Amino acid sequence: MVLIDTHAHLDSKKLAPDLDRVVSRAKQKGVSRIINVGITLESSQKSIEFAKRYPEIFASVGIHPHDTEELPDNYIEEIKKLVQDNREYVVALGEMGLDYYRNYSPKKNQKETFIKQLELANELQLPVIIHDRAAHEDTLEILEEFKNEVFGVFHCFAGDEKIADKALDLGYFISFTGNITFKKAEELRKVVKQVPLSRLMVETDCPYLSPEPFRGKINEPAYVRLVAEAIAEIKNVDFQEVVSITGENASNLFKI
Ligand SMILES: [Zn+2]
Ligand SMILES: [Zn+2]
C-alpha cells in the first residue's frame, strides 16, 4: 500500500525545521512518497535539495502565479537548468497557473509565466502541476492551446462539476486536499463524487488546508491519509481501493 502526497511545501518555515520527524510521521501513516512543489526559483532549489536528502521526497520545480511579477529575465533557462542538472530528482514542472482570487501579481505576468512554463514542459516532456484559483476560464483556454502536448494535474481542485469535466476532457488528473472534509464543502464533495477514481489524486498542500479534525492547525504529509479516507467515504468505496488507485495514478503520471 502506497499513499502518495502529490503536493507538499515542506520548505515552509512551519515544517522545514522539523523535517526528519515530519517525514517519519508520514511513513508511519503509510505515506511513502511526497512531491515537494516549488513556487519560486529558490523553493524549487529547496525541493531538489530535499529530494537528494530523503528517498521519500521528489521535486517539482516552477513559478507560482503569485510570484510572477519580479522574475529575472532568464528564469525559464534557470528552471531548465535545474531540471537538466537533476533529472533523477525532478518529476514535474509547477506549480504554475493563474490565481485571480488574490491577484498578487498582474494577470498579464501570470499568463505569460504560465504559458512559458507549459512550453518548457512540452520541450522537456514533464507533467505539470496546475494551480487554478478563480481563474477557470483562462486556465482552461491556455491549456487548450497545449492539448495533446502537455499533461498533468489540477491541484487543490476548486472548480465545479463543469470545470472538472473540462479538465478531464483535456486529459488532466484532479487532485483534492483536506478542504473536502470542511463542513461547508458540499459543492466540492459533489465533484469528488463525479470524478472517476481512475483520474483522482490526493495531496495535503501542507502546511495549509489541514483536513478535519486538524483544520486550522499546521498540515503535514501524514494527514493525506485523512483525505483518502474522506474520498472513500464520499464515493462509498473501500479505503484500500482509493489508496491503491490514486497511488497508481500518481506513480504513472510522475514516474515515481
Ligand atoms: Zn496551489
Ligand atoms: Zn501549493
In DSSP terms, which residues pair with 98 in a beta bridge? Answer: 132
**What tens digit of pLDDT does each residue of 74-92 get?**
999 999 999 999 999 999 9
In DSSP terms, which residues pair with 92 in a beta bridge? Answer: 60
Q: How far is the CA of 95 from the centre of ligand 1 (A)?
A: 6
Residue 94 exposed, middle or buried by CB count within 10 Å (0-12, 13-18, 19+): buried
The response to whether 64 counts as a known ligand-binding position is no
Q: How far is the CA of 201 from the centre of ligand 1 (A)?
A: 14
Q: How far is the CA of 154 from the centre of ligand 1 (A)?
A: 9
Indicate the domain borders of the chain. Answer: 3-254
**What tens digit of pLDDT does each residue of 123-160 get?**
999 999 999 999 999 999 999 999 999 999 999 999 99
Would the pLDDT of 1 be above 90? no
Residue 239: band (very low, low, confident or very high) from pLDDT cuts 50, 70, 90: very high
The response to whether 66 counts as a known ligand-binding position is no
Q: Are 205 and 215 in contact (CB under 8 A)?
A: no
Q: What average pLDDT is seen over the chain? A: 97
Distance CA 76, CA 22 (A): 32
Q: Please state, in angstroms and as integers, the Cα–Cα distance from residue 161 to each residue in 70, 113, 158, 165, 245, following that order.
A: 35, 27, 10, 6, 21
CATH number of 3-254: 3.20.20.140
